[in-house]
Amino acid sequence: MNQRELQRRETRRVLAEHALRLFSMNGFDETTVEEIAAAAGVSQRTFFLHFPTKSAAAFPDHEERVRDFIDRLGDGRLIGNPLLHLCQVLSSGLDTGSPTRRTRYQLLAQVGALRDEDARTDRDYEEVVAAFLIQAWGASVDARVRAHAIANAALGVCRASLIGWGEEGIDAREVCFEILHRMIGSPFDAPLHSLQ
Amino acid sequence: MNQRELQRRETRRVLAEHALRLFSMNGFDETTVEEIAAAAGVSQRTFFLHFPTKSAAAFPDHEERVRDFIDRLGDGRLIGNPLLHLCQVLSSGLDTGSPTRRTRYQLLAQVGALRDEDARTDRDYEEVVAAFLIQAWGASVDARVRAHAIANAALGVCRASLIGWGEEGIDAREVCFEILHRMIGSPFDAPLHSLQ
DNA sequence: TGGCTTGGTGCACTGACTGCAGTTAATACG
DNA sequence: CGTATTAACTGCAGTCAGTGCACCAAGCCA
């Protein structure tokens, strides 16, 4: 590991830490980027070298998590039951361990701008899930629409579970898996166009 | 109808019209609020009397549509099969008639900022749907989480269908109803906690 | 007609974000 | 080693979205 790389990561970490602290202490709108940067001991300009927007600092590990998610999802062509696999990977990803993560989702439940940011980051997952299902099903128009619909739906369930967890402390993982399984597990075993 | 009210509506309509035109002609980021206001023959300050944000001008009938949606959804306590009813109301709401609406969803498929705005407006629907289901099911913690999860999922399906329609011209209504029906129609007939 | 209301305006301001031209320190390389 | 290069960080000036405030002018109502 480079010394420069170390320095860069450290700055980023400290920025994210102070951002989350200030957001939950004083509120999102009441916190300026200038303040976050000052608290972290760097200039405002540096903040924007590390995060594209103010709200992105509340989700500093996003890219990393998406990469990790892609790894855990694997190749859709090689999986026997893609939808069940998807349910498992999605709900196992809702690790409710870290207190930082809890703070983040409590914030999320309150602050509109952060829910927006969350929706934005969810779009990345949505694309990954859709790509996975298209791998599994082929790229016909029908499959593509179906893949995006299911991806949106599945992530919607996860988001609701996580926000519920942030608001009320309900364990997200189990209920999420259960709902996902009901929703996308069995009904899509039947071929499409078989409904009257 | 008041003359003032008429004037107000007309200004709003013209603003929205020029906003959509400029967005699709020159791009969202390339269009300034100043330009929209100038094109509509009013001041920039007036734009913000009519729309809270630049992107809101791309969805000028949002509040009205939400009100209409609430009406069509009705009272959850009085409906025999709330989920089926929800499927019907949601997919019938995807009227793909107006060319303005088509333009809007073509834009939506391209412009990140508008997808964000769309996600934001979807939150309003999400709350309406969740409230409807909570009316139908009661307000236990379990029902609330389930309601929000299903609301998120259902709207995710609609969004995907509409974006698919914007991108590829596929009729959104039918495929949306089919997927919704599979997803939330039958599986939730069984009681919760009946999966192994 | 005269007071009140309200849609629109002008202005000054905040704050997010960007482009550019530096400085300094780590690193790669001859 | 010493030197050229790279890259993290800085300062500054600028754009643009969005807000608060005092104000005008035209509609409304008594």
Q: Which of residues 116-175 of B touch A (CB under 8 A)?
A: 116, 119-120, 123, 141-142, 144-146, 148-157, 159-161, 163-164, 168, 170, 175
Residue predicted with more confidence, A160 or B43:
B43
For residue B172, CA distances in Å to A46, A149, A154, B103, B157 come to 45, 11, 19, 15, 10
> Model confidence over B28-82: pLDDT tens digits?
999 999 999 999 999 999 999 999 999 999 999 999 999 999 999 999 999 989 9
Q: Give the distance from CA A25 to its chain's centroid.
A: 23
* Alpha helix stretches (DSSP H) within A44-195: 44-50, 62-73, 82-92, 99-110, 112-137, 141-168, 172-180
CA atoms within 13 A on the CB side of B109: 16
Give me A121's structure tokens: 């980051």
CA nearest neighbour of B129 among B98, B86, B94, B95: B86
Q: What pLDDT does B188 receive?
A: 62
- pLDDT of A193: 40
Report the distance from CA of residue B15 to the C1' of nucleotide D20 in Å, as an integer.
23
The per-residue pLDDT for B33 is 98
In chain A, what residues touch B160 (CB-CB under 8 Å)?
Answer: 145, 148-149, 151-153
Contact of A49 with chain B, judged by CB distance below 8 Å, is answered with no
| Residue–nucleotide distance: B60 CA to D22 C1' (Å) | 29
Q: What is the mean pLDDT of residues B165-184?
A: 82
* CB crowding B95-113: b at 16 or more within 10 Å, else e: ebeeeebebbbbbbeebee
Q: How far apart are CA B131 and CA B186, in angstroms?
A: 21
State how far the Cα of A113 lies from the Cα of A59, in Å rounded to an integer: 12
Instruction: Measure the CA dihedral A135/A136/A140/A141, to 10°.
Output: -90
pLDDT level of residue A186 (50, 70, 90 thresholds): low
Look at residue B114 and tell me whether its pLDDT is greater than 70.
yes
The DSSP letter of residue A27 is -
Residue with more model confidence, B118 or A30: A30
- Reduced to 3 states (helix: H, G, I; strand: E, B; else coil), residue A110 is helix
The band of A170, judged by pLDDT with boundaries at 50, 70 and 90, is confident
The average confidence (pLDDT) of chain B is 88
Q: How far is B148 from chain A (nearest CA, A)?
A: 6
For chain B, give the percent of residues with pLDDT over 70: 93
For residue B169, pLDDT beyond 60: yes
For residues B150 and B126, give the distance between their C-alpha atoms in angstroms, rounded to a whole number: 9
* pLDDT reading at B88 higher than 80: yes
A184 close to A83: Cβ distance less than 8 angstroms: yes
What span, in angstroms and rounded, lies between the C-alpha atoms of A115 and A121?
10
Q: What percent of chain A has pLDDT over 70?
A: 93
Contacts of B88 (CB under 8 A, 6+ apart): B177
Which amino acid is it at A186? S
- Interchain proximity B187–A187, CB inside 8 Å: yes
Contact B108, B114 (CB under 8 A): yes
Residue B90 pLDDT grade (very low, low, confident, very high; cuts 50, 70, 90): very high
pLDDT in tens, A44-90: 999 999 999 999 999 999 999 999 999 999 999 999 899 999 999 99
For residue B42, the model assigns a pLDDT of 98
3-state secondary structure of A42: coil
Instruction: Give the pLDDT score at A194.
Output: 36
Between B157 and B179, the more confident residue is B157
Q: What is the pLDDT of residues A120-156, one digit of tens each?
A: 899 999 999 999 999 999 998 888 988 999 999 999 9
How far apart CA A177 and CA A161 sit, in angstroms, is 10
> B192 falls in which pLDDT band (50, 70, 90)?
very low
A172: number of Cβ within 10 Å:
24
Q: How far is B73 from chain A (nearest CA, A)?
A: 20
Task: Please calculate the CA angle B73-B149-A160 and round it to the nearest 5 degrees.
Answer: 125
Tell whether the torsion through CA atoms of A28, A31, A37 and A38 is positive or negative.
negative
Arithmetic mean of pLDDT over chain A = 88
CB-nearest partner of A179 from B141, B146, B164: B146
Alpha helices in chain B (DSSP H): 3-26, 33-40, 44-50, 62-73, 82-92, 99-110, 112-137, 141-168, 172-180
